Chains A and B, each alone.
Chain A
Amino acid sequence: MMAVGFQDVSKHYRERPAVTEFTLQVQPEERLVLLGPSGCGKTTVLRLLAGLGTPDRGQIDINGEVVAKDGRNLKGPEERNLGMVFQDLALWPHLTVRGNLEFGLKAQRVPAAERQKRVCETLELMQLQSYAEAWPAGLSGGQQQRVALARALVLQPRLLLMDEPLSSLDFELNLQLRHELLRLQGELGFTLIYVTHNLEEAFAIATCVAVMKAGRIARIGAVAPIRAHFEELLRRTAAMAPEQAVPGAFLLSGPACPP
């Protein structure tokens, strides 16, 4: 059973196509990175998967269950058992760290004792025990990232979506949180779909990379062949005269790798 399946999914914003006949399959416990330039439709794919947007056409499955089909969402976002970390983190400023974690558990009517246990465990997992009563605005950037991740994981989702969550961090913190993410994924075994435009970040996290361009998958495959392809293109671009080089062209040129 696939963890995620997209079949010929299309989505337009007004007249502009965001995703066109998009097809993708993600295996359970896989770490898929959606890579591509700004505006190529990466975030739209995540939002359609989360139920925050409605596809115009096509079908979306999560864990073998159809969640969207023929221009309709069959399951609301809260029914899809997934967690999401937004680019701007979207921590609720009027709730403490504990409040941020408890909100979803309360909404799903988890009993108080079980709720406390899960919040404590997740805070411990993310090394945030001493910040339970802190307000998000009082935390550092790295701590806020951890809270956002903790909030997504406290519901024990089988699928975690991350939309460029580390893009605003400095290199050192970015590196540290990448390692933590890999550790958590290894421990908890969720399927990860991660959006970025950063090649290095993509290759460090992914088990599978999908390169997107203009709302479609231009190339998909394991990390090694995709990395080799990009390195070759970078070498070629470096050898070109400046007037010949087209920015971003290397993302699409060359033969497609086998999926």
Chain B
Amino acid sequence: MLTGQRITLTATVVLLLVIGVAPILAMITASVMIDGKPSLVHYQALVSSRRAWALLGHSLTLSSLTALCGTVLGVLLGILLGKTDLPLRNLFVILFTLPLLLPPYLLAVAWSAALGREGWLSDLTGESRAAMSSDWLFGLPGCVLVLTTVFMPVAMLLTITYLKTVAPRLEEAGRLVARWPRVLSGITLPLIRPGLAWAALLIFLLAIGEFSVPMYLRYDVFPVEILTQFSAFYDFGAATAAAVPLALLTVALLVVEGRFLSPPRVRGFLGETEGSVIRLGAAHIGWLFGVGLLCVVLVIVPLGGLVLQAALADYVDALSRAGDSLFHSLLYAAIGATLLTLLGFFCGYLIHTHALRAWRWVDFLTLLLLVLPAPVIGMGLISLWNRSATDWIYGTPTMILLGYLAQYLALTSRTTAATLAQISASMDEAAAVTGAGWFRRLSMITVPLARPGLLAAWLVSYIFCLRDTGIAMLVYPPGHDTLPVRIFTLMANSPEGLVAALCVLMMTATCLPLAPLGLVMKRWSRVP
């Protein structure tokens, strides 16, 4: 292999180890050390703690229910929006995806504003029903509702993506002898079963690490224990020990999943034919009504209610109290997304070309870091960088950027790998036979051809950096908090109108890049 390519890709792997793996190892080391000596005291305390086991039970219950509801709903919507001729499909996809792009607790705030004791929906139903709906919301059912709404788009989008990878002929061959429901259950869904299992696991892992929603809706879960030990009891050792089980659970599930289900990689879309689209016919009005109603209930009612709750004065107040945080959010998200796109490009290139034997590890590690609970990554970063020798990093917003790089690298590396898979290998080979070196081929051929995909990677990572709460909350230096962190700290003791206005500001900042994202996706589908 060419030296320039080998050096660049090796440097990429080393950077990934420093950014992503070293913090986790530092955290594990910190959890078994007391005053410089090895000790398992923190783990003994954790294992013997009834509360810890109860919290772990809560976490598993919540994430299992979320994965079940999110997958069932997501697959159904994925089929309806990705396989049928239902009107307004693209609009529904955008609307249902919206909650995934926002900080999760924002939906909890929105539902609380609607169904809480003094919520606007409760006002319509009377005091006793308001108390009932509030009791229902503040607990396990409310958490499942909110987290299902937030993470269901994962299953929906993956279903739509994997449906496009099924060869239309296979379904058409089925249609010659059977109706669509049997073709779906006997051919289409079994063919994408690994993808659906992956969607369920992904939702489970994302839900088990989520703390902001359960915290807001007062349902104690395990990740909250990490934050409690860290920020309430200032017990760093106990906090790291509490983070390790979540990390181990994530690794174990990913290993099992990779070994037995082999998550499918999207190598290209096979498109659709007239015969592979489900024609709803006269039933389309009923389906349209059903999907529309679901969209109103899950997305429009809570988020729309939030918009209506804030008055103009609240927006002025919100900007004056959190304008600097909004600026930090936009700035760090933009820098984070740029760095993620750059590092993700080389990781994606490595994963796509298998240029180094380490490509499998790079793929696995980036995925692992994506699904690791944010508090685990946050604790890892603190463990690694909170030393006098590295104070020049620890006391700066670099910590936030390192967190973004660690957690969201899979978004850009996988987008890059999928984009490169759409480009014919002969493009690079044709350039190579002219005598062009690797860097020249990369800059003149590969990158220009992959540009729409790279722009999509930038926008996706920008949105995820912008919505991040878990990492920023643990590692932000004084005076550099981001908007999601500021809202989270303000919402407990601030007027509802102000919180609503802050949430709307957050939504606006997130949604603004969606229009270019849509255009990029359209162009992306035309990449050769």
Contacts and interface: CB of A to CB of B under 8 A. Distances in A.
A52 B273 contact: yes
Interface string A182-219: 00000000000000000000000000000000000000
Given A52-B273, A54-B274, A78 B179 contact: yes
Contact of B169 (A54, A76, A88, A155): A88
Contacts of B182: 107
Contacts of B175: 51-52, 76-78
B179 A107 contact: yes
Contact of A90 (B173, B177, B179): B173
Interface string A69-91: 00000001110101110101010
Interface of B: 167, 169-170, 172-179, 182, 186-187, 190-191, 273-275
Contacts of A86: 169, 172-173
B145 to A, nearest CB: 35
Contacts, number: 72
Contacts of A83: 176
Contacts of B169: 86, 88, 90
Q: Residue among A51, A52, A93, A94 with the most chain B CB within 10 A?
A: A52
A40 interface: no
A interface residue count range (under 10 / 10 to 19 / 20 to 34 / 35 or more): 20 to 34
Contacts of A53: 273-275
Contacts of A141: none
A104 B274 CA distance: 21
A212 B170 CA distance: 27
Contacts of B190: 94
Main secondary structure of the interface of B (DSSP, over half): helix
B184 to A, nearest CB: 12
Contact of A84 (B176, B179, B191, B273): B176
B176 A78 contact: yes
Contacts of B186: 103, 106-107
B178 A103 contact: yes
A87 B219 CA distance: 57
A108 interface: yes
Nearest to A53: B274
B308 to A, nearest CB: 43
Nearest to A73: B279
A88 B275 contact: no
Nearest to A85: B173
Contact of A94 (B167, B179, B191, B273): B191
A77 B191 CA distance: 21
Nearest to A13: B274
19 contacts: A50-B275, A51-B176, A51-B275, A52-B274, A77-B176, A77-B275, A78-B177, A80-B176, A83-B176, A88-B167, A88-B169, A90-B167, A92-B173, A92-B191, A94-B190, A103-B178, A104-B178, A107-B179, A107-B182
Contacts of B187: 92, 94, 103
Given A53-B275, A86-B172, A155 B167 contact: no
Contact of B176 (A54, A88, A104): A104
A115 interface: no
A47 interface: yes
Contacts of A90: 167, 169-170, 172-173
Contacts of B273: 52-53
Given A92-B187, A94-B190, A103-B177, 11 more contacts: A51-B275, A52-B274, A78-B177, A84-B173, A86-B169, A88-B169, A92-B191, A94-B187, A103-B174, A103-B187, A104-B177
Contacts of B274: 47, 52-54
Contacts of A106: 186
A54 to B, nearest CB: 7
A108 B178 CA distance: 7
Nearest to A47: B275
